[in-house]
Amino acid sequence: MKSLQQAFSSDQTCLLDVSANSMESLIPVVIDRLIENGLLPADQRDEVIETFVAREHVVSTAIGHSVAVPHCYLDGLTEPLIAFVRLEHAVNLGALDGTPTRYFFFLLGPTGRAAEHLDTLALIARLMSDDELRYDLGDAADAEALRWALGRAAERSRPQQQREQVSDGLAYTGRLCGGLRADIARRLPHYVRDFRDGLHPQSLASTLFLYFACLAPAVIFGGLMSAETGNSIGAVEMILATAVCGIIYSLFAGQPLIILGGTGPLLVFTAILYDLCQPDKLDIPFLPAYAWVGFWTAAFVVILAITDSSCLMRFFTRFTDEVFAALISLIFIYKAVWSLADEFRGLDAHDHHDTALLTLLLALGTFYIAISLQRFRRSRYLLPWMREFLSDFGPTIALIAMTLVAIWLHGVDLQQLDVPESVRPTLATRDSWLINPFDAPPWVWFAAAGPALLATVLVFLDQNITARLVNSRDHKLQKGEAYHLDLAVVGGLIGLCSAFGLPWLVAATVRSLNHVRSLAVVEESVSNRDNQRHDHILHTRENRLTGLAIHILIALSLLLLPLLKHVPMAVLYGLFLFMGVVSMKGNQLFERLSLWAMDSSLYPGTHYIRRVPNRTIHLFTVLQLVCLVVLWVVKGNGTIGILFPLFIAALVPVRLLMNRYFKEEHLQALDAEEIPEEEETQW
């Protein structure tokens, strides 16, 4: 470590953002710079360069993880020397892991002292396997920042006596508000930095993408809720709740990467509650009853937050997370496909063939452009900054491009985004936004606690499972978890929305995961097995600015409602499809399902395939698939749909029962909380 600290000791031995496209073009630049700084004798220049180049011709010194260690030992050199070089853009030097090389440690010294660098070489290989170090080295502006990055990496690499099985955010304190206070203490030191870290072009791209990705579900869920509640709660209420709750959440929650939104289970619950309030049932006013259920739900959720109840989420494993995430992804894909299929029903109508065909083309065009541009970061074409721009802004470019195509083909009648003309309650008989809960009979004030218990279970699971997915170690988040604080904020917001007749919002899985991935810094690699390009997350730009900006834009949308009417629903269906497909990425359930159609001799070399028999892998996958099908059926069943949260909770005992029928080492591989560090992505 001392030798590396010497390499980062000054700008003389640190060359940052050097422009080179091969090792042969890089070596003379580095040697000339060292000579200029008086670190090498000028008369040794040609010999040193020839030795470096000859070494590279024998075998590449790129050792993987985007690092190479060129070395040269000559009798004419007097003292060992290490120089660090960062290229402006990575180049492919044939590393075994297929990752282009951007970082170089040049090792120089006299012939007899080559052994002194052996420990340094091992240290470099170990430290550079740290994704966060590679991100910090790429972000450093000078030698001081490099030394800081090295110090952080050294701290992380120190061996721990025992690795904690339960994260700090899910630890049970045993004290009232103990977890809540711990969350605040963990996140408060990062509060100012959360805004500063959002000042990056990638944040702008994320904001524009998520703006439409959040606005479209708000309008669609609002329309569905309007139909299910007799216009008591509609699109205006959903957009207003999304904007207000999103702004408050981004300012006061612990994990600002989570996006709040309406969800299918909450829609089902609200629809059942409305049906119970009808004259042929309980004959009570819906909105006051809805307010009382919301007040009780808010109280129960806050009580769960202050009693550390979120620590129960430690019993939820990757098994549960994958099933839940798969369900939400499939809901988005199903909604897009069903809406497109609906256009082709009743084709006898005038011009309906043109409408249906153009709707399909616009949706598929939006999906294709968005998915293609997202992958353009791996392309060999254009300059690197252009590839980054197109990749980051891909969904926004797709939406704008297809909207312009629809406007150009104005002769075809397309369904437009259905938004109201002005900001007013959807229900015509409402003369005020504020709901008077005392319009409900007195017995409702207390009886509402019953359905509120079911709503509380639903909110608790929806919020915390999504939070677990967002806080996954695979996303490389660094600022800590805040399950209890997030739950308390959501509880308060449910109470606020209930008072104004607004829909309840919780963490929206697909939107939250797309938010995280839109802010991720990824590193590309090429699989030696199938020669395909893959990437994995190095770092995620955790910040509050994107969430705040997204929901401020949604609030401003209430002033621009007439303009939004020009956005075709077909384009939003394409965006839904894109979000659903992208959120499937990284879900091992879908990866293992693909094994069923694959030649077993060509299975990728993932950690669980290497350690678990194929039969056991397929059995584990079948059980997850059965759970997914059951949840899908329950969700769509109006009679038992209100019990949906209980079926989600039932995934925990199902997983615990598997301990009796699967070997422990097999479950540890299949249900690992994170991908093992020694494994590179094989898919």
How confident is the model over 621-650, as pLDDT tens digits? 999 999 999 988 887 665 666 677 778 888
pLDDT at 673: 64
The predicted model gives 491-507 an average pLDDT of 94
Residues 94 and 140 in one domain: yes
How confident is the model over 147-158, as pLDDT tens digits? 888 888 877 766
Asked if residue 459 belongs to a domain, the reply is: yes
Asked if residue 372 belongs to a domain, the reply is: yes
Q: Dihedral, CA atoms, 95, 97, 102, 103, nearest 10 degrees? A: -80
Mean pLDDT of all residues belonging to the chain: 83
pLDDT at 163: 42
The predicted model gives 39-53 an average pLDDT of 86
How confident is the model over 565-604, as pLDDT tens digits? 777 888 888 888 887 888 787 788 888 888 888 887 778 7
The predicted model gives 67-76 an average pLDDT of 83
pLDDT at 681: 37
261 has which bridge partners?
A: 506
The predicted model gives 49-53 an average pLDDT of 87
Least confident of 377-386, 543-552, 655-664: 377-386
pLDDT at 597: 86
Higher pLDDT, 644 or 347: 644
SS3 string of 237-282?
Answer: HHHHHHHHHHHHHHHHCCCCCCCEECCHHHHHHHHHHHHHCCCCCC
The predicted model gives 393-417 an average pLDDT of 83
pLDDT at 676: 47
Residue 83 contacts residue 34 (beta carbons within 8 Å): yes
Query: Residue 194 pLDDT > 80, yes or no?
Result: yes
pLDDT at 545: 94
Asked if residue 131 belongs to a domain, the reply is: yes
Residues 602 and 500 in one domain: yes
Read off the pLDDT band of 162 (50, 70, 90). very low
Closest CA to 405 of 361, 370, 367: 361
pLDDT at 115: 67
Residues 211 and 67 in one domain: no
Residues 460 and 361 in one domain: yes
User: Whole-angstrom Cα distance, residue 100 to residue 263?
Assistant: 41
Read off the pLDDT band of 283 (50, 70, 90). confident
Query: Residue 289 pLDDT > 90, yes or no?
Result: yes
Per DSSP, the residues of 366-412 read HHHHHHHHHGGGG-SSS-HHHHHHHHHTHHHHHHHHHHHHHHHTTTS
User: Whole-angstrom Cα distance, residue 214 to residue 230?
Assistant: 24
The predicted model gives 321-329 an average pLDDT of 84
pLDDT at 251: 94
The predicted model gives 499-504 an average pLDDT of 93
Residues 94 and 187 in one domain: no
Count of alpha carbons within 13 Å of 477, Cβ hemisphere only? 29
| Domain total of the chain | 2
pLDDT at 120: 77
Read off the pLDDT band of 678 (50, 70, 90). very low
Give the list of residues 6+ apart from residue 563 with CB closer than 8 angstroms, or none: none
Residues 115 and 194 in one domain: no
Residues 73 and 182 in one domain: no
Residues 289 and 321 in one domain: yes
pLDDT at 682: 36
Read off the pLDDT band of 269 (50, 70, 90). confident
Read off the pLDDT band of 683 (50, 70, 90). very low
Residue 242 contacts residue 552 (beta carbons within 8 Å): no
pLDDT at 349: 54
Asked if residue 609 belongs to a domain, the reply is: yes
User: Whole-angstrom Cα distance, residue 265 to residue 39?
Assistant: 67
Residues tagged active-site: 71
Query: Residue 368 pLDDT > 50, yes or no?
Result: yes
Asked if residue 433 belongs to a domain, the reply is: yes
How confident is the model over 197-229, as pLDDT tens digits? 888 888 988 898 888 778 877 877 777 788 778
pLDDT at 287: 92
Higher pLDDT, 264 or 179: 179
Query: Residue 250 pLDDT > 70, yes or no?
Result: yes
Asked if residue 98 belongs to a domain, the reply is: yes
pLDDT at 580: 83
Which amino acid makes up residue 521?
V
User: Whole-angstrom Cα distance, residue 146 to residue 81?
Assistant: 17
Higher pLDDT, 115 or 183: 183
Residue 249 contacts residue 504 (beta carbons within 8 Å): no
Read off the pLDDT band of 495 (50, 70, 90). very high
Query: Residue 80 pLDDT > 70, yes or no?
Result: yes
pLDDT at 384: 72
How confident is the model over 450-479, as pLDDT tens digits? 889 989 988 998 899 889 889 888 788 888
Per DSSP, the residues of 191-239 read HHHHHHTT-SHHHHHHHHHHHHHHHHHHHHHHHHHHHHTTTSS-HHHHH
User: Whole-angstrom Cα distance, residue 37 to residue 9?
Assistant: 14
Query: Residue 100 pLDDT > 60, yes or no?
Result: yes
User: Whole-angstrom Cα distance, residue 190 to residue 197?
Assistant: 10
Closest CA to 149 of 274, 5, 36, 260: 5
Read off the pLDDT band of 246 (50, 70, 90). very high
How confident is the model over 423-450, as pLDDT tens digits? 778 776 777 889 999 999 999 999 999 8
User: Whole-angstrom Cα distance, residue 619 to residue 622?
Assistant: 5
Residues 149 and 233 in one domain: no
Q: What CATH code is carried by the domain that includes residue 82?
A: 3.40.930.10
How confident is the model over 604-624, as pLDDT tens digits? 777 788 888 889 889 999 999
Asked if residue 357 belongs to a domain, the reply is: yes
pLDDT at 201: 86
Higher pLDDT, 516 or 637: 516
Task: Domain of residue 365: give its range.
Answer: 178-670
pLDDT at 351: 54
The predicted model gives 314-334 an average pLDDT of 83
The predicted model gives 275-295 an average pLDDT of 89
Residues 376 and 520 in one domain: yes
The predicted model gives 37-46 an average pLDDT of 84
Residues 73 and 148 in one domain: yes
pLDDT at 312: 85
Asked if residue 680 belongs to a domain, the reply is: no
pLDDT at 6: 66
Residues 131 and 205 in one domain: no
